[in-house]
Amino acid sequence: MENLALIESFSEFKDDKLIDRVTLMAILEDVFRNALKKKYGDDDNFDIIINPDKGDMEIWRNRVVVADGEVEDPNAEISLTEARKIEADFEIGEDVSEEVKLIDLGRRSILALRQNLISKIHEHDNTNIYKQFKDLEGEIYTAEVHHIRHRAVILLDDEGNEIILPKEKQIPSDFFRKGDNVKGIIESVELKGNKPTIIMSRANNLFLEKLFEQEIPEVFDGLITIKKVVRIPGEKAKVAVDSYDDRIDPVGACVGMKGSRIHGIVRELGNENIDVINFTNNINLFITRALSPAKVTSIKIDEVNKRAEVILKPEEVSKAIGRGGHNIRLAGQLTGYEIDVLREGAEEDVELTEFSDEIEGWVINEFKKIGLDTAKSVLEKDMQFLLSHIDLEEETIQEVINILKEEFEE
């Protein structure tokens, strides 16, 4: 009865954890053999027969019959008198098989055995989860919001596996409620104390690349290749694409008619602004495309130092720089070149840094953040524009304008 009840409880694990029969039997035998070693010192002379489906289990102890008074190893040998209590016609030298009941191991051993089994099954389960998600690293995965913490969102998938979406792996505009379905990539999987820690990310560049594969059939089929992805999560991204088939327009295929294909990706990323760019090995052309929507007048390349000096018309500079400098920063990351923007006719202009004796450096930097790095570029803008684009008081801006005007009045 003890055997039956214990095995039946073990069978529950088989149903709950979907452990295959062979694995369950191996775990059961391993746990029982450890218990036998603790009780008898060795398990080599024991046969364990397990049928988890029926709830059957038998343990047989095999010993050799020796003459009375000559037993040296009680676990491997049995005296003739003791053997004949089992079966009357045993003789010296014969093998005796005797069934061991679980109750013979002692109640404490049975409790320890059960705990050991639970631990082994959980360990097996965790190892399988680790392997499953390790194979999914870098792939898109969807799970449901279970709990929202200050520094992370805890997700559960359909099988109850816990997935962590840390705050720094989220898009800044992300807002989740319990029960929401969240999509991201499995960024990393680690075993910590035999428990798998699964980290999801929505801020990783690879997430955007995988969304392209998921949403655009030509990318999934390999007809269009994604050469590089750079992004400022939730703000702006640039994706360089190429095709080996001249009949395919890679940018057009990715964007779709009136943006139909890329719209879903933009929405998934919290309205992140995505520029899709035709890749080319012509670095001048690639930098020109990367600075879109600005129109470049000319480019001077320094291959050794990986720098590019770009000349633009004054009205194009702010487009090249972009809000918060995002456009030029991403263009540099995409092309691998540090890009310096210059205005046409800049030789007649004066760099703001030339006024560092009169204007504090941090104030100059506020103007430079939106692409206003020369005196004329500032004076061309009206006060309303400057107030709405620069984080400075009107009094400070007016003071800067007065200083710059004096330069040209002289």
Distance CA 223, CA 246 (A): 10
pTM for this model (two decimals): 0.62
pLDDT in tens, the chain (410 residues): 345 445 555 555 545 455 566 666 777 777 788 878 877 788 888 888 777 666 567 888 898 888 888 888 888 888 888 888 888 888 888 888 888 777 666 666 666 666 666 666 666 677 778 888 999 999 999 999 999 998 999 999 988 889 999 999 999 999 999 999 999 999 999 887 778 899 999 999 999 999 999 999 999 999 999 999 999 999 999 999 999 888 999 999 999 888 889 999 999 999 999 999 999 999 999 999 999 899 999 999 999 999 999 988 878 888 898 888 899 999 999 999 999 888 776 556 778 887 887 889 899 999 888 888 888 888 888 898 898 888 889 999 999 998 888 776 64
pLDDT at residue 43, as a whole number? 82
Distance CA 121, CA 27 (A): 7
**Closest Cα to residue 139, out of 73, 184, 192, 203?**
184
For residues 165 and 201, the answer to whether their CB atoms sit within 8 Å is yes
304 phi/psi in degrees, rounded to 5: -65, -50
Tokens of 11: 């069978």
Tokens of 339: 């890009």
Distance of CA 288 to the CA centre of its chain: 33
Residue with tokens 């799970």, as numbered in its chain: 143
pLDDT at residue 103, as a whole number? 66
**Closest Cα to residue 36, out of 52, 19, 59, 18?**
59
pLDDT at residue 391, as a whole number? 86
pLDDT at residue 121, as a whole number? 66
Element of type H or E holding 95: strand 95-99
CB atoms within 10 A of CB 125: 16
CATH placement of domain 205-297+318-336: 3.30.300.20
Reduced to 3 states (helix: H, G, I; strand: E, B; else coil), residue 263 is: helix
pLDDT at residue 110, as a whole number? 63
Tokens of 134: 């390790």
For residues 225 and 241, the answer to whether their CB atoms sit within 8 Å is yes
Residue with tokens 């590019």, as numbered in its chain: 308
Reduced to 3 states (helix: H, G, I; strand: E, B; else coil), residue 14 is: helix
pLDDT at residue 4, as a whole number? 43
**Closest Cα to residue 167, out of 184, 182, 152?**
152
Residue ranges of domains in the chain: 2-131, 137-201, 205-297+318-336, 346-409
pLDDT at residue 325, as a whole number? 86
CATH placement of domain 2-131: 3.30.1480
Distance of CA 340 to the CA centre of its chain: 34
Residue with tokens 């129109």, as numbered in its chain: 295
Distance of CA 289 to the CA centre of its chain: 31
Distance CA 93, CA 403 (A): 113
pLDDT at residue 314, as a whole number? 79
Distance CA 265, CA 267 (A): 5
Distance of CA 253 to the CA centre of its chain: 28
Residue with tokens 């029982």, as numbered in its chain: 32
Tokens of 161: 């596996």
The yes/no answer on whether domain 346-409 falls in CATH 1.10.3470 is no
Residue with tokens 């998938």, as numbered in its chain: 157
Distance of CA 384 to the CA centre of its chain: 44
Reduced to 3 states (helix: H, G, I; strand: E, B; else coil), residue 245 is: coil
**Closest Cα to residue 13, out of 135, 139, 153, 115?**
115
Calculate the alpha carbon distances from 332 to 33, 79, 161, 173, 335 in Å: 64, 87, 40, 25, 5
Tokens of 220: 């999934």
Torsion of CA 379, 310, 278, 210, to 10 degrees: -70
Calculate the alpha carbon distances from 249 to 253, 261, 265, 389 in Å: 6, 14, 19, 36
222 phi/psi in degrees, rounded to 5: 85, 5
For residues 244 and 187, the answer to whether their CB atoms sit within 8 Å is no
CATH architecture assigned to 137-201: Beta Barrel (2.40)
Tokens of 328: 């030029």
Q: Which residues pair with 225 in a beta bridge?
A: 242
For residues 127 and 95, the answer to whether their CB atoms sit within 8 Å is no
Tokens of 170: 């989220």
pLDDT at residue 11, as a whole number? 52
